[in-house]
Amino acid sequence: MNALAAIGEALVLIGTFFYLLSALGLIRMPDVYNRMQTSTKSATLGSLGVMVGVGIWALGTDFGSAAWLTKTVVIAVFLLLTNPISAHALIRAAYKSGIPLWEGSVVDKYREHLEAGEKKKAETPEASEETPEEGGEE
Amino acid sequence: MGEASKISRYLYTVIVLFLIWLAITASLDVQELGFGLLLSLIVAAFTYEIFTTNGLANLHPRRIAYMIAYIPYFLWAMIKANIDVAYRVLHPKRPIRPGIVKCRTVLSSDVGKLALANSITLTPGTITLDVDDDEYFIHWIWVPDEALVESEEEHVKASSEGITVPFEKFLKVIFG
C-alpha cells in the first residue's frame, strides 16, 4: 500500500459514488429531459474517475506499469468526447418524437423556433412539409 | 479562415493518429513505432479529407497553450456540475425548474460549435438540444429569473451569459 495506490482507490470510490447518483437520478427525476441531465453528467464523471483511478492504482502496484495509465486515459478521453454527443442525439430524438416536457417546465423556446420555421415554410408554397416535428429542419 | 493545403491537412492527421498510437501501445520500441507510423500514414490517406479543414494551423502554440489551460478549467466545471447534480438528486424537495432556453454564440467554425455543445452538456444543469447556425437550444434544469423575461433579446443575453460565455473565451482561440 503506497500513496499512488491510495489515490487510485480514492478515485475509484468517488467514481462509483457518482455512478450511484446517476442511477438515483434516473429514478427521482420527473421526465426524460431531466433524467438525461443527471445520468449523462454523473455517468461521465463517474467513468472518468473509475478509469483514471484504475490507471493510477496500477502504477502503485508491483505488476503495474505506465502502460495502464496511458491506456485508461485514452479510453477516458474517448468517453469524454462521445458521451455528450450520444446524450445530445437521444434528447433531440426524444423531442422530435413528441415527448412532452414536465408540467413544471417554465419556458420552451425550441417550440417557438420550430413554429417560426414552420410559418416560413408555409409562406413558400413549393417547400411545404406535412410533418410538423420537422419544421425547423433544413 | 480558409481551407489549408492538402499536404498540411494530411500531415496533421498523421500526427494526431500517431499520438493516439503512442498512447495506446505505450511502448517506445523501434518496431512498434515504425509500424505505427506506417499505419498512421495509410489511415490518414483515407481519412484526412473529413478529419480537418485547418491542417497544421491547429498546432499553433497559442492554440495549444489555450487548450492546455482549458482542460483544468473544463474539469473543474464538470466537478461543479456533478456536485450540483448530487444536490438536486439527494435534496428531498427535488429543486428543479426546467425549461428550454435559447443562446447565441460568437463561434464560427463547426468544430468549435461541437466543442461548445459538448462542454455545455457536461457542465452545471445544462444539456444541448439543438444547434441551428449560431443559435443553441439548451435544456436548463434551473432557469434563473433573469432568463424568464418576455423580451427575446434580454432572454438570449441573460441565458448566453449563464451558459456559453464562460467557455467562449477559450474556444474562440482554440477553434476560431
Kindly report the pTM of this predicted structure.
Answer: 0.80
Does residue B114 register a pLDDT over 60? Answer: yes
Query: What pLDDT does A11 receive?
Result: 92
Going by pLDDT thresholds of 50, 70 and 90, the confidence category of residue A136 is very low
Joined together, the cell numbers standing for residue B1 give: 479562415
B102 at the A interface (CB within 8 A)? yes
Joined together, the cell numbers standing for residue B142 give: 434551473
Joined together, the cell numbers standing for residue B15 give: 500526427
B121 at the A interface (CB within 8 A)? yes
ipTM score over 0.85, yes or no: no
Going by pLDDT thresholds of 50, 70 and 90, the confidence category of residue A15 is very high
**For A70-117, how does the pLDDT look when each residue is reduced to its tens digit (9 = 90+)?**
888 899 999 988 988 998 898 888 888 887 777 666 667 777 777 777
Residue A24 with chain B: CB contacts under 8 Å: 89-90
Q: How far is A132 from chain B (nearest CA, A)?
A: 16
Residue A108 is classified by DSSP as B
In Å, what is the CA distance from A115 to each residue of A112, A121, B116, B150?
5, 10, 26, 18
SS3 call for A85: helix
Name the E strands within chain A.
Answer: none
Going by pLDDT thresholds of 50, 70 and 90, the confidence category of residue B54 is confident
